[in-house]
Each structure stands twice: as structure tokens, then as C-alpha cells.
């Protein structure tokens, strides 16, 4: 089950173990509005309840509960996501993503780490039509496209797609529906 989730989590783009006292990048000298990616991601900090919608290759849909926390780390120069399964009331972290603005290359870069499966993935990109769109190859060579958008005060969504033909066609792997955690 978690092997399928690897394609669903980016995500980019944190957990109770993270320090929550780091100011957002806009509060740091020289970091204000360097990229639209930062402005978009600043709105995501905090804890979110997730409904994972996972699409098998045959199109069958499975829905699972989860949680993700986004926190600025490294003096606001990187955003960490900690992805968790929710089993009843117990939250079980299983993966993390570290994202940062790569000023040298002028793009957002995210490194997904899923230790149990030994599956690191690196994706890069920028804001396209109001969505952060990141692409990169997974360990099997398939092209991944992760996009985050529809960010409101209390909700946003993330789409995960995979291509076996270098982007000529895409298969929807999943959609994560996030709602800001209450409590």
C-alpha cells in the first residue's frame, strides 16, 4: 500500500519533531518574494488532514486517511513535509520531503525520501498557471509530475501523475485532498 503512496506524496513539500519557530521566508532578509513558489508555499505551513485518493493501474480508486505537516527549516530556506498514515487516532510518519528554491537554477527542487522502500525521488519545477508543477524521474525511470494548487485558507490539493513515455501521455496515480487540521 505504501509503495503506491510514494507517487502520491510530494509533496514536496513536516512533523511534530520540527521546530515551529522559524519565520517564513518573507520575514527573512533577502528572501522576500524571490519566487512565486515561496509565496504559494508559505500558505501551506502547518498541519493538514489528508484524504489520499490512489488510482491503481486499472483505474480502481482507494481512499485512505493521512496527515502532513509543512514547516520551514534551515532558517526559512527550505520547506519540510512529513507525511503520515493515520491508523485510528495514531499518526504514523513514513516519509519526508525537503523542498527549496534553487536560486542557481531558478527553480523549486524537492527531494522525497521514503526510507522503508528505499525510494528517493528528486523533482524540480516552478509555478505554472497558479500551480506548483514539479517533474522528475522515479527510481524505475518513469517521469513523475507532481502539482500543488487550489490553495485556500483551509484546503488545497496535490495531483500525482506518471508517464512511461516521457510525458506524451500521463496516468493519474493519485490526488491528495488536504484540509487544515483542527485541534
CA dist 92 and 42 (Å) reads: 25
pTM: 0.78
The pair phi, psi for residue 94, each rounded to 5°, is -135, -15
CA dist 157 and 183 (Å) reads: 21
Phi-psi domain of 143 (left: phi exceeds 0; alpha: psi -120 through 50; beta: other):
beta
pLDDT, tens digit (0-9, with 9 covering 90-100), for 86-134? 987 889 999 999 999 888 888 999 999 999 988 889 999 998 988 899 9
141 class by beta-carbon count within 10 Å (0-12 exposed, 13-18 middle, 19+ buried): exposed
Say if residues 62 and 7 touch (Cβ distance below 8 Å): no
Q: Is 117 helix (H, G, I), strand (E, B) or coil?
A: helix
- Report which of residues 149 and 30 the model is more confident about: 149
Say if residues 162 and 143 touch (Cβ distance below 8 Å): yes
Q: Is 164 helix (H, G, I), strand (E, B) or coil?
A: coil
Phi-psi domain of 180 (left: phi exceeds 0; alpha: psi -120 through 50; beta: other):
beta
Report domain extents, the chain. 2-180
Per-residue confidence (pLDDT) for residue 103, from 0 to 100: 86
CA dist 149 and 110 (Å) reads: 16
Q: What average pLDDT does the segment 76-80 reach?
A: 93
**Grid cell locating 155:** 484546503
Whether domain 2-180 has CATH 2.40.128.20: yes
CA-nearest of 183, 181, 182 to 67 is: 181
Say if residues 99 and 110 touch (Cβ distance below 8 Å): yes
pLDDT, tens digit (0-9, with 9 covering 90-100), for 20-62? 334 444 444 444 335 666 777 788 889 999 999 999 989 899 9
Per-residue confidence (pLDDT) for residue 36, from 0 to 100: 66
Per-residue confidence (pLDDT) for residue 123, from 0 to 100: 97
Say if residues 37 and 102 touch (Cβ distance below 8 Å): no
Amino acid at each position: 500500500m505504501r509503495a503506491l503512496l510514494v507517487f502520491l506524496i510530494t509533496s514536496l513539500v513536516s512533523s511534530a519533531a520540527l521546530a515551529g519557530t522559524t519565520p517564513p521566508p518573507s520575514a527573512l532578509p533577502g528572501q522576500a518574494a524571490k519566487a512565486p513558489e515561496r509565496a504559494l508555499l508559505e500558505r501551506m505551513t502547518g498541519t493538514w488532514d489528508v484524504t489520499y485518493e490512489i488510482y491503481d493501474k486499472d483505474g480502481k480508486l482507494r481512499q485512505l486517511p493521512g496527515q502532513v505537516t509543512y514547516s520551514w527549516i534551515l532558517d526559512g530556506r527550505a520547506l519540510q513535509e512529513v507525511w503520515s498514515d493515520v491508523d485510528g487516532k495514531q499518526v504514523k510518519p513514513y516519509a519526508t520531503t525537503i523542498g527549496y528554491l534553487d536560486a542557481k537554477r531558478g527553480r523549486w527542487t524537492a527531494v522525497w525520501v521514503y526510507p522503508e522502500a528505499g525510494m528517493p525521488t528528486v523533482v524540480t519545477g516552478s509555478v505554472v498557471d497558479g500551480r506548483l508543477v514539479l517533474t522528475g524521474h522515479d527510481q524505475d525511470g518513469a517521469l513523475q509530475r507532481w502539482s500543488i494548487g487550489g490553495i485556500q485558507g483551509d484546503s488545497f490539493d496535490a495531483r500525482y501523475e506518471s508517464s512511461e513515455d516521457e510525458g506524451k501521455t500521463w496516468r493519474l496515480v493519485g490526488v491528495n485532498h488536504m484540509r487544515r487540521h483542527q485541534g
